[in-house]
Amino acid sequence: MAVLCKPAIAVPEYVITNEETLELARRIHRGHPQLDLALRLIEHTGVQKRHLIQPIETVLRHPGLDERSTVYEAQSKARVPAVVSRALETAQLEPTQIDLIIYVSCTGFMMPALTAWLINKMGFRPQTRQIPIAQLGCAAGGAAINRAHDYCTAHPDDNVLIVACEFCSLCYQPTDIGVGSLLSNGLFGDGIAAAVVKGTGGHGVRLERNGSYLIPNTEDWISYAVRSTGFHFLLDKRVPGTMEDLSPALRALAEEHHWNVGKLDFYIVHAGGPRILDDLSRFLDVPREAFRFSRATLTEYGNIASAVVLDALSRMFDEQSAFEGHRGLLAGFGPGITAEIALGTWSAPGS
C-alpha cells in the first residue's frame, strides 16, 4: 500500500513581517476608501511573517509578465533540486527509482514543464512519467497526493515524486486594489515542497482512500484573470465560508471508509486562512488544536498555496506525535471550489 513519506520544505531568504505588510499597505494605499477594512483583515490572518524569492522592493516594481516568467524559471531551477534531493534522501531512494514526477504550481508557467528539466538535470530515467498540474491552485497539493496514490494503486511496485513550487509574490499586481486583492497581498508567501509516495515500504502516511468534491456553481469564486500583465488573482468574499459546504464531503468520504471524521488522530489541511480552520473545527466537531500544524504553517509562512499541505505534514513528522495505526485526514482546497481529500493511517518506521 502506498506510503507518503516525510516532505522536504524550503522557503526563500527574504522575509516580510505582518507589521511591515501593514505599514506598506498604509503607505501605498493611503486614501483608499476601504483601507481600514483591509488592514483589519490582514491583521486577523494569523500570519506573522512570509518569505519571498526577491526583496519586497523588487516585488512591488512589477517589471512585466515576460520578466516575471524569466524569474520564475530561474528561481525554480535554482531552488527546487535541493528540496527534491532531501525528499529522495528521506525516502531512501535514488532518482532512478522514481517512476512518476507530479509537479504542481499555479504561480508561473513553463513549457516543457520543470519536470523535463529535472529529469535531465538530476538523473531521473528518460522513461520517468510526468504529470504537471497548473490550474488547481491551493488544492493541487492534495490533488498531487491523490494522483500519486492512484498511480501506486495501479503500479504497486513504483514510486512517485511530488514537487510543489509556489512563488506567490510573482502574482502581485499593483493596480488591483479591491479589498480581496489587498488581503491576498498580506496573506500569500513563497515556498517549495517535495515528497515521495512509495508504492511499497516507507514510513509516513499509508494512503487508503481519496476523493474529490466540487461545490456547484462556485467556479468564479477563486480564479485568475489572465492579462498582459500576468495573473490577476480574484477572490470572492464568500470563499471563507465554504467549509460549511465542504465539511459534509470530508465527513462522507470518512464514512465510506467506516471512519468517524470527528474522531481521527490527525488532520492535515490547507490553511487558506484562520476562518477555514476555525470552521472546520466547528463543522467536523474536532478540537481547535487538531489543526495546529496547518496553523503553524499559516503563522510562519503565510498561505504558500499547494505547498501548505506538505509543510503541515512535515511539521507532524517533526512533532513525532503520531503512532502506528493512527488514522488521519489530509485535504487541499482551491479553485472550483474544489476539495481534494485523502484518508490514511500512520506507518511507523520498521512496521
Task: Write out pLDDT tens, residues 251-276.
Answer: 999 999 999 999 999 999 998 888 99
Q: Are residues 329 and 183 in the same domain?
A: no
Q: Are residues 209 and 187 in the same domain?
A: no
- For the chain, the average pLDDT equals 94
Q: Are residues 12 and 158 in the same domain?
A: yes
How many structural domains are present in the chain? 2
Is there a contact between 341 and 246 (Cβ–Cβ < 8 Å)?
no
Q: Are residues 336 and 260 in the same domain?
A: yes
Lowest mean pLDDT among 1-10, 178-187, 289-298: 178-187
Q: Are residues 222 and 334 in the same domain?
A: yes
Q: Are residues 45 and 193 in the same domain?
A: yes
Q: Which domain holds residue 250?
A: 204-347
Confidence of residue 143 (pLDDT cuts 50, 70, 90): very high
Residues noted as catalytic: 138
Kindly report the CATH number assigned to the domain that includes residue 94: 3.40.47.10
CA–CA dist 271, 303 (Å, integer): 7
Confidence of residue 179 (pLDDT cuts 50, 70, 90): confident
Residue 181 has pLDDT above 90, yes or no: no
Task: Write out pLDDT tens, residues 91-116.
Answer: 999 999 999 999 999 999 999 999 99
List C-alpha distances in Å: 308 to 97, 104, 167, 175.
Answer: 26, 12, 13, 27
The pLDDT, as a whole number, for residue 78 is 98
Residue 48 has pLDDT above 70, yes or no: yes
Q: Are residues 271 and 335 in the same domain?
A: yes
List C-alpha distances in Å: 182 to 204, 248, 304.
Answer: 38, 31, 17
Report the length, in residues, of the chain. 351
Task: Write out pLDDT tens, residues 191-207.
Answer: 999 999 999 998 999 99
Q: Which of 178, 198, 218 is the last residue of a domain?
A: 198
Q: Are residues 156 and 192 in the same domain?
A: yes
